[in-house]
Structure 1
């Protein structure tokens, strides 16, 4: 049980991506997906032009949370996007985005920058569908190091989701 709580706490910290943002807020989905530094995954699809990650209707919302934070002595730079379906009330989605951005501030760092979008951009390095056990909550990950990206599938699963490459 304790390991599960630790995994969930680390997952929230990773999703929060918050101590500081080096590049300033993204102004469009394409800007949000464009890494300031080359991704270290070696994936050719990271260079593709950004497009919506999931077909959506007008009620779907997304938020990009961007920044850097330190956890267990490691600096993590990330840009993560949380997309909610029509069944998640808009206010609840915004509160979740703001709460995730504040996680590192609660640990003594700076809050992450939140940018609201219609949809999360594509391509991403990976994603977690069904986040927190909510079938229409989908998290997309960008700008993660190879080592950090490798830890996300287990965090996704611990948070009730299904990892997709």
Structure 2
């Protein structure tokens, strides 16, 4: 029992750190546009520390966005990092410490994502495209 108590105390401090180690989320769902449904699997990965609440809030907001396109809210899975390889990735999405990974895209869709990633406006800084590895 003497050994168990200190281990329990250590566990109480270490466990929250392990739980907060998630910096990414996969969002899977279907988007309907002009009567055509498309399966979507994307992942957001923060390149800096983020609280569990911030991660969940950000991921849930993106998942809910698919409902605005006529689909159901996407399914969110939290994880340490986005799965690799991906079809492609936008590093520093919108000038933020956030990388977006895209999966199962056609060649045309990859080019569209790349163009959107790299485009800068007066308000939003473009990101850097990566092959998703």
TM-score clears 0.5: yes
Q: Deviations over 1:110-132 (max 9, x none)?
A: 11111111111111111000012
Is it true that 1:61 corresponds to 2:23 in the alignment? yes
SS at match of 1:127: strand
Q: Residues 76 and 144 of structure 1 are in contact (CA less than 8 Å); yes or no, is this contact kept in structure 2?
A: no
Tell me which of the two structures has the higher relative contact order, counting C-alpha pairs closer than 8 angstroms and 6 or more residues apart: 1
SS at match of 1:102: helix
Using the TM superposition, give the Cα deviation of residue 60 of structure 1 relative to its aligned residue in structure 2, in angstroms: 5.0
TM-score normalised by the chain length of structure 2: 0.69
Equivalent pairs, count: 107
SS at match of 2:102: strand
In structure 1, stretches of 5+ residues that fail to align are 1-57
**From 127, 130, 133, the counterpart of 1:164:** 130
Q: Residues 60 and 84 of structure 1 are in contact (CA less than 8 Å); yes or no, is this contact kept in structure 2?
A: no
TM-score normalised by the chain length of structure 1: 0.57
Alpha-carbon RMSD: 2.1
Q: Deviations over 1:18-37 (max 9, x none)?
A: xxxxxxxxxxxxxxxxxxxx
CA distance in 2 between partners of 1:137 and 1:162 (Å): 11
